[in-house]
């Protein structure tokens, strides 16, 4: 009996080359952040006063997606904890998960002590009682508390600016001996401007900007991350550069650069290729885009999906720029087929605007001679896939197709107009894909 299995061996060989691929996983926190020296220095300066038993200012960190805000914050707060021999307690809260001031206060109170038996319930306590418990626990502990409110804009979006006041009130330095500070993190540069003055002045005591990375910086970041990878020798420089260039075009997003690199490597492994080249990166990008497309279609509300389905079906038979009226008519027919109540044409216009915002369709408001003002639209790409993804919704599982409204061009529109419209829509698509 042989223990040798040629198949096992085949897999192992390529995988061994890429051992340690976890340095490219999203949960990995690096120890070194190229091109974030300035931000790190500012944070160290702001938080360093804690070492001298002073209160640190509340901070807001601004920056687009993938510019390192969350991971730099986790790194710095870890280092601070170490430097103070655990005299700092860091409470990390993602405001997309804990999305009310109440649940955030409960989380803060429950995190102040390590005692799992003294957890207060997540519902039922009045706010006054929570404040009191908060003060008791703060007074009973000698640690400094740093509350990180990541995606803080989500909290305000959902509960209004006053929600921050609820938290800031608890944090009020007069009350608890200056031993708590807040670090807010947001994607929106105008976040603080929208807050009312009393909240703004308390929260935004200092702000730090995380600029988007350019292609060269992203290349450095990738190279640094790949250093510890066994198989880095088989990743061609041109592949690294391409990942960096693609991500730089997408508002300088390091997450995108790293994800692209990881998918490219996984692709090479799966195909037993012993090299990662530009070819793998291009293919990874395509896979990535389809994953994003899938996710964005899947997460649409039901009627937005039906509207999108109507656009796809209308466009497929029309072979010319289509307009809102016929999309609405076909949407109505689909709803009828599904025995669902159709929304008004006004609501459907709103949903079409949403689809345009997400980039699933492009649209154009244009006044054309006798036809008057109309909105023309187009799905840029992947009609079949979009239809497939829409129909994955269980509530659309009974959909068997529909007789579409009679296809004709809008009255008063000539073939020349159509050509212009098509060019304009294509120009918008090019701009999106820039
Ligand atoms: N300068 C850098 N060096 C090394 N890795 C980096 C750097 N900047 C970002 N990264 C990595 O890029 C990924 C995204 O970073 P992070 O999650 O911190 O971004 P973010 O600014 O919080 O984005 P979002 O606004 O989407 O939450 C992480 O894997 C992080 O480790
Ligand atoms: Mg983040």
Are residues 163 and 105 in contact, defined by beta-carbon separation less than 8 angstroms? no
For residue 174, pLDDT beyond 60: no
Q: Is the CB of 65 under 6 A from ligand 1?
A: yes
Q: What is the pLDDT of residues 1-56, one digit of tens each?
A: 556 665 565 556 556 666 778 888 878 888 899 999 999 999 999 999 999 989 99
H or E stretch at 45: helix 37-48
Write down the pLDDT at residue 117: 77
Pocket test for ligand 1, best of 28, 62, 70 (most atoms within 8 A of CB): 70
Best CA proximity match to 109, nearest among 154, 66, 141, 68:
141
CA 69 to ligand 1 center in whole angstroms: 6
Q: What is the pLDDT of residues 71-93, one digit of tens each?
A: 999 999 999 999 998 899 999 99
Nearest residue CA, atom 26 of ligand 1? Answer: 65
- Of residues 427 and 353, more confidence is placed in 353
For residue 434, pLDDT beyond 50: no
CA 178 to ligand 2 center in whole angstroms: 27
CA 150 to ligand 2 center in whole angstroms: 7
Atom number of ligand 1 nearest to Cα 73: 18
CA 82 to ligand 1 center in whole angstroms: 22
Q: List the strands of the sheet with 180-186, edge to edge.
A: 88-94, 144-150, 180-186, 59-63, 206-210
**Is 0.85 topped by the overall pTM?**
no
For residue 241, pLDDT beyond 50: yes
Q: Is the CB of 261 under 6 A from ligand 1?
A: no
Are residues 161 and 195 in contact, defined by beta-carbon separation less than 8 angstroms? yes
What does the block give as tokens for 281?
């990166």
CA 67 to ligand 1 center in whole angstroms: 5
Write down the pLDDT at residue 17: 61
Q: What is the pLDDT of residues 266-297, one digit of tens each?
A: 888 888 787 899 999 999 999 988 998 999 99
| Mean pLDDT, the chain, integer | 88
Task: Go through 152-167 and write b for each residue having 16 or more CB atoms within 10 A of its CB, e for each that does not.
Answer: bbbbbeebeeebbbbb
Write down the pLDDT at residue 307: 97
Nearest residue CA, atom 29 of ligand 1? Answer: 26
Ligand nearest to the CA of 257: 1
Distance CA 200, CA 197 (A): 5
Write down the pLDDT at residue 251: 85
Distance CA 238, CA 231 (A): 16
Q: What is the pLDDT of residues 372-420, one digit of tens each?
A: 778 889 998 899 999 999 999 999 988 988 888 776 777 777 788 888 8
% of the chain at pLDDT higher than 90 = 55
Ligand nearest to the CA of 262: 1
Ligand nearest to the CA of 30: 1
H or E stretch at 94: strand 88-94
For range 122-151, the mean pLDDT: 91
Distance CA 107, CA 119 (A): 9
Ordered structural domains, the chain, with CATH: 6-23+213-296 (1.10.8.60), 37-210 (3.40.50.300), 300-433 (1.10.10.10)
Q: Is the CB of 34 under 6 A from ligand 1?
A: yes
Are residues 220 and 34 in contact, defined by beta-carbon separation less than 8 angstroms? yes
Q: What is the pLDDT of residues 305-325, one digit of tens each?
A: 999 999 999 999 887 888 898
Best CA proximity match to 187, nearest among 154, 148, 146:
154
Distance CA 197, CA 205 (A): 12
Ligand nearest to the CA of 66: 1
CA 87 to ligand 2 center in whole angstroms: 25
CA 151 to ligand 1 center in whole angstroms: 14
Geometric angle at alpha carbon 92, from 87 and 96, rounded to 5°:
170
């Amino acid at each position: 009996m042989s223990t040798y299995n040629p198949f096992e061996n085949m897999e192992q060989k390529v995988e061994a080359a890429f051992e340690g691929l976890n340095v490219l996983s999203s949960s990995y926190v690096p120890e070194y952040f190229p091109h974030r020296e300035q931000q790190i220095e500012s944070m160290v300066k702001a938080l360093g006063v804690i070492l001298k038993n002073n209160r640190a200012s509340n901070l807001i960190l601004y920056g687009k997606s993938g510019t390192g805000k969350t991971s730099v914050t986790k790194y710095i707060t870890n280092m601070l904890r170490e430097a103070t021999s655990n005299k700092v307690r860091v409470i990390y809260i993602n405001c997309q998960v804990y999305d009310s001031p109440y649940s955030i206060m409960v989380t803060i109170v429950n995190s102040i002590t390590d005692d799992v038996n003294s957890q207060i319930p997540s519902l039922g306590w009045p706010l006054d009682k929570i404040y009191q418990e908060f003060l008791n626990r703060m007074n009973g502990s000698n640690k400094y508390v740093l509350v990180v409110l990541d995606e803080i804009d989500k909290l305000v979006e959902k509960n209004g600016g006053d929600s921050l006041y609820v938290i800031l009130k608890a944090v009020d330095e007069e009350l608890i001996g200056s031993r708590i500070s807040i670090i807010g993190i947001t994607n929106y540069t105008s976040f603080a401007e929208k807050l009312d003055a009393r909240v703004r002045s308390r929260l935004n005591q200092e702000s730090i900007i995380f600029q988007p990375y350019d292609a060269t910086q992203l290349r450095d970041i990738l190279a640094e991350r790949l250093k510890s990878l066994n198989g880095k020798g088989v990743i061609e420089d041109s592949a690294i550069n391409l990942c960096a260039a693609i991500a730089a075009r997408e508002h300088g997003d390091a997450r995108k650069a790293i994800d692209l690199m990881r998918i490219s490597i996984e692709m090479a492994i799966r195909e037993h290729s012993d090299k990662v080249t530009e070819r793998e990166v291009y293919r990874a990008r395509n896979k990535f885009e389809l994953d994003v497309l899938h996710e964005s279609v899947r997460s649409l509300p039901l009627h937005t999906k039906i509207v999108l389905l109507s656009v796809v079906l209308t466009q497929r038979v029309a072979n010319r720029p289509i307009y809102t009226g016929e999309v609405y008519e076909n949407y109505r027919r689909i709803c009828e087929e599904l025995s669902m109540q159709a929304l008004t044409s006004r609501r459907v216009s709103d949903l079409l605007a949403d689809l345009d915002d997400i980039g699933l369709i492009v649209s154009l408001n244009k006044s054309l001679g006798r036809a008057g003002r109309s909105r023309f639209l187009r799905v840029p790409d992947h009609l079949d896939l979009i239809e497939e993804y829409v129909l994955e919704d269980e509530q659309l599982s009974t959909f068997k197709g529909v007789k579409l409204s009679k296809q004709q061009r809008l009255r008063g529109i000539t073939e020349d107009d159509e050509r212009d419209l098509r060019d304009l829509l294509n120009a918008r698509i090019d701009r999106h894909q820039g």
